A and B are shown apart, each in its own frame.
Chain A
Amino acid sequence: MAHHNQQSQALLDVSGLKIHFFTGAGVVQAIDGVEFGLESGETLGLVGESGSGKTISSLALLKLVPRPGKILGGHIRFENDDLIDKSEAEMIRIRGKRIAMIFQNPAFSLNPIYTIGQQLGEIMMWHEKINRGEANDRVTEMLNLVGITDPASRLKQFPHELSGGMKQRVCIARALLCKPLLVLADEPTTNLDVTIQAQILELLSDLKTRFNMAMILVTHDLGVVANMADRITVMYAGRICETATAERIFNNPQHPYTRALLSTIPRVDKSYTNIQSKRLTVVPGRIPNLIHPPTGCRFHPRCVEANGECSRTQPELKTVEEGHVVSCLKR
């Protein structure tokens, strides 16, 4: 892979990932040859619209693609093992232990009928083979680390007794219990108040440094990744558009989709006076139906630069500069 040429250091290297959903209406080609990767301690922002396949891609890393989805091909190399070859019995030793996940909606991602102590303790006991007392101590310690006040008494509380921000802190604590090497954060702040969002992002950033974890931050919010991510991968309709350092994505985007996305967010450092319409732009059209995806480049129906060639040939990922890959026939 061009985007991280020191193969030995790569913690995760996903290549050729292909996931289809076999629905009654037809085969949804949700993920079609996706590749991305990251090194230890790095943060990768996985950006795209709803339906672009970013959540499915992250669930695929845990081999938890929901039915009727199926991983049809590709490789998920993690610490030099290919997770695709791992059995379910091996995967349950990796999930939560070496790769953990934080979910989008903290209100629904804790079991309502178990206390915080019960559900976090259970995970601890399962992975670390320790007893309830030790597990409680470790859970308390972790709750304290994620900024929960009076953690010992929280153990006895049920999720419905906590606020939204508090729940997400508990979810973060759950993900970090076994100090995983990689954390998948799927829109961790989308369902939170704006003020809480900032706190949670700061917390994630602190903990990442503290435990030297790598993180994949899945989001549709470019503002979130701008502050957090070292590198950014932009996805569209189940394929990769572009991967580069965060700085290059914002300052020198190459893919027309990335450019279109960036033009939709208001920026204080840009003047809008010399733009013709004086309004924020929108990306025209809508995300395609992936049962019958567009031929060639999947973005061509919405692309301002597209020509006939784009509807016939599927673009390959090519390196435009060291660490910057783009899949566009025009680059």
Chain B
Amino acid sequence: MGILRFIIRRLIFMVFLILGVTIMIFFMINAIGDPIDILMAERPGITQEVIDNIKSYYHLDRSLTEQYTLWLWNVVQLDFGTSIIYNQPVGSMLVNWGWETVKIQVPSILISLLLAILFASIASTRQYTKTDFGVMGTALLGRSMPGFFTGILLILIFSYWLGIFPSYGAYSTRSPLMGSLLLDSLWHMTLPVMMLAYFNTATLTLLIRSSMVDVLRQDFIIAARASGLPNRRVVYGHALKNAIIPALTYLAILFGLMLGTAPVTETVFTWPGLGFLYITAIQQLDYPVIMGITLIITLMLVLANLFTDIAYVFIDPRIRLE
């Protein structure tokens, strides 16, 4: 089967890509500075000996090549090192903070996909009507507004004016909502999910609508109608399945680049996710954390691409993996 060879080839390629990306990031972090210097700068009473001890504890006294090799060797054994700032194993931090990111990102992407399919179908079958312009206008607005602005607007409306949703955090600091941890969690998730979903829905709607408009003009759609198939089967069975194919790539990017949009969302809502952690880690040059998150971003992007390529084969029979 050609598909297996294709996957293996892509996985080998992925190894080289990850090596390249991590080497670049590793050397760039070191070019910026040393995390211990940043930490110690605020504590003037500390002696050079203590600093040297700490540096040697974190192997920061070794050469860059040695440091990188050591990091890589540990990563291969699934040891991501220890955070310099939090003094916790990075591996479990990635899981714990990552879960908070997944919690808002995955629902928002899934909600966006469903809404976008719905809106795009409604708009494209009513091309150039008020409904279509309404959908497109709202989508264009969502696509053009910077994410943090949407977030702040949501906080203003739903937290400050209406007071119905919390403006920050993933959990209540005192008692959870109605005594239920699940409800409390969902309650906190609402605004960040809305912020992400608005942007994602907007983009996907524009994308799917335009490809739907193209597909609906095709001869095979007129032929399906001329065969007597009802509108609903023509639009959802014949047109949508063709129109969704170009949107798959974008969907994969959304999944793969989850951590790319996370920093903004999580900063606006002070959300304890990987994006928030990434920003603080970069500010403090907590390099084991930076490296860990970078590795995950690269991995997710490459895997998402691989999955899309494979999904294409199953959805579009004309596509063959060479």
Number of interface residues of B (CB under 8 A): 23
B226 touches A64 (CB 8 A): yes
A112 touches B242 (CB 8 A): yes
B238 touches A111 (CB 8 A): yes
1/0 contact trace for A65-106 toward B, CB 8 Å? 011000000000000000000001000111111001101110
Asked if B10 CB lies within 8 Å of chain A CBs, one says no
How close is A184's CB to chain B, nearest CB, in angstroms? 8
Give the residues in chain B near A96, CB-CB below 8 Å.
Answer: 226-229
A93 touches B228 (CB 8 A): yes
Asked if A123 CB lies within 8 Å of chain B CBs, one says yes
B228 touches A112 (CB 8 A): no
Q: How far is the CA of A94 from the CA of B225 in the complex (A)?
A: 11
Q: How far is the CA of A103 from the CA of B221 in the complex (A)?
A: 11
Give the residues in chain B near A100, CB-CB below 8 Å.
Answer: 226-227
Give the residues in chain B near A174, CB-CB below 8 Å.
Answer: 223, 227
Given contacts A109-B223, A112-B242, A113-B317, contact A123 B228 (CB under 8 A): yes
Q: How far is the CA of A140 from the CA of B228 in the complex (A)?
A: 20
1/0 contact trace for B307-322 toward A, CB 8 Å? 0000000011110000
The listed residue (A103, A123, A160) touching B219 by CB distance below 8 A is: A103
How close is B221's CB to chain A, nearest CB, in angstroms? 8
How close is A96's CB to chain B, nearest CB, in angstroms? 3
Given contacts A105-B219, A108-B219, contact A95 B317 (CB under 8 A): no
Given contacts A111-B220, A113-B242, contact A160 B227 (CB under 8 A): no
Given contacts A160-B317, A171-B223, contact A88 B228 (CB under 8 A): no
Q: Which residue of A lies closest to B218 (CB)?
A: A108
1/0 contact trace for B126-156 toward A, CB 8 Å? 0100000000000000000000000000000
Q: How far is the CA of A171 from the CA of B227 in the complex (A)?
A: 11
B318 touches A95 (CB 8 A): no
The listed residue (A110, A127, A160) touching B318 by CB distance below 8 A is: A160
Q: How far is the CA of A160 from the CA of B241 in the complex (A)?
A: 17
Asked if B183 CB lies within 8 Å of chain A CBs, one says no
Q: How far is the CA of A142 from the CA of B139 in the complex (A)?
A: 47
Number of interchain pairs (Cβ within 8 Å): 80
Q: How far is the CA of A184 from the CA of B199 in the complex (A)?
A: 46
B229 touches A101 (CB 8 A): no
1/0 contact trace for B18-33 toward A, CB 8 Å? 0000000000000000
Q: How far is the CA of A66 from the CA of B241 in the complex (A)?
A: 21
A interface bracket (residues with beta carbon within 8 Å of B):
35 or more
Asked if B230 CB lies within 8 Å of chain A CBs, one says yes
Give the residues in chain B near A12, CB-CB below 8 Å.
Answer: none
Q: How far is the CA of A104 from the CA of B318 in the complex (A)?
A: 22
Q: How far is the CA of A116 from the CA of B229 in the complex (A)?
A: 16
Given contacts A108-B220, A158-B317, contact A123 B231 (CB under 8 A): no
Asked if B222 CB lies within 8 Å of chain A CBs, one says yes
Asked if B224 CB lies within 8 Å of chain A CBs, one says yes
Given contacts A67-B127, A171-B223, A174-B223, contact A111 B242 (CB under 8 A): yes
How close is A215's CB to chain B, nearest CB, in angstroms? 15
Asked if A297 CB lies within 8 Å of chain B CBs, one says no
Q: How far is the CA of A207 from the CA of B175 in the complex (A)?
A: 78
Asked if A211 CB lies within 8 Å of chain B CBs, one says no
Give the residues in chain A near B226, CB-CB below 8 Å.
Answer: 59, 62, 64, 95-96, 100-101, 103
Asked if A272 CB lies within 8 Å of chain B CBs, one says no
Q: Which residue of B lies closest to A127 (CB)?
A: B228
Given contacts A108-B219, A113-B242, A171-B223, contact A123 B229 (CB under 8 A): yes
Give the residues in chain B near A230, CB-CB below 8 Å.
Answer: none
Q: How far is the CA of A95 from the CA of B241 in the complex (A)?
A: 23
1/0 contact trace for B45-63 toward A, CB 8 Å? 0000000000000000000
Give the residues in chain B near A32, CB-CB below 8 Å.
Answer: none
Q: How far is the CA of A110 from the CA of B316 in the complex (A)?
A: 14
Q: How far is the CA of A42 from the CA of B231 in the complex (A)?
A: 31
How close is B320's CB to chain A, nearest CB, in angstroms? 11
A126 touches B317 (CB 8 A): no
Which residue, A112, A115, A158, A160, has most C-beta atoms of chain B within 10 A?
A: A112
Give the residues in chain B near A115, CB-CB below 8 Å.
Answer: 317
Q: How far is the CA of A109 from the CA of B241 in the complex (A)?
A: 16
Q: How far is the CA of A111 from the CA of B222 in the complex (A)?
A: 11
Q: How far is the CA of A92 from the CA of B227 in the complex (A)?
A: 8
Q: How far is the CA of A261 from the CA of B229 in the complex (A)?
A: 38
Q: How far is the CA of A95 from the CA of B234 in the complex (A)?
A: 13
1/0 contact trace for A112-127 toward B, CB 8 Å? 1111000100110011
28 contacts between A and B (CB under 8 A): A62-B226, A64-B222, A92-B229, A93-B228, A94-B228, A95-B226, A96-B226, A96-B229, A100-B227, A101-B223, A101-B226, A105-B219, A108-B219, A108-B220, A109-B219, A109-B223, A110-B220, A111-B242, A112-B317, A113-B241, A113-B315, A113-B317, A115-B317, A122-B237, A123-B227, A126-B233, A158-B317, A174-B223
Please list the residues of chain A having a beta carbon within 8 angstroms of any beta carbon in chain B: 59, 62, 64, 66-67, 88, 92-97, 100-101, 103-105, 108-115, 119, 122-123, 126-127, 158, 160, 171, 174-175
Q: A109-B222, A160-B318 are in contact. List 9 more A-B contacts (CB 8 A).
A: A59-B226, A64-B225, A95-B228, A111-B224, A113-B242, A113-B315, A113-B317, A123-B227, A174-B227
